[in-house]
Copies of this chain bind each other. A is one copy, B any other.
């Protein structure tokens, strides 16, 4: 065992993940550490790097399934950059779509709240709309 091997707490700190999350990643087969005599998980430097990699990819909005793909590409020195780019491009499109949906949603809600006096009276266009008015474009 090299002296750069670390316990889960250190790995968590170094990767920006929680120990809980790291154990979860082990459960689903992403990063599987060795154990020492007392049963503690032991992470190599390479494994800590993978954890960091996962933390960044998740923060960028990649799902676990996508992370699994990216990780295998990360580990494969002979991968084509096109493979990686395809995953990222798909993700960008999905994000753009989600943004559009949310903007449309926000627009609908804004129209409603602007028409709502927000006073003590029971008249409320928001409720009226939900109760039956047509909100189609």
A residues contacting B by CB (< 8 A) are 49, 52-53, 56-57, 60-61, 70, 73-74, 77-82, 84-86, 88-89, 91-92, 95-96, 98-99, 102-103, 105-106, 108-110, 112-113, 116-124, 126-127, 129-132, 135
Contact = CB atoms under 8 A, between A and B. Distances in A.
A130 B99 CA distance: 24
A113 to B, nearest CB: 5
Given A81-B117, A121-B81, A106 B95 contact: yes
Copy tally for this chain in the complex stands at 2
A133 to B, nearest CB: 9
A89 B119 CA distance: 14
Nearest to A89: B113
A61 B129 CA distance: 14
Contact of A127 (B74, B89, B91, B123): B74
A123 B82 CA distance: 10
A89 B53 CA distance: 37
A86 B124 CA distance: 12
A101 to B, nearest CB: 9
A27 B82 CA distance: 48
A130 B56 contact: yes
Nearest to A91: B109
A116 B81 CA distance: 7
A110 B118 CA distance: 41
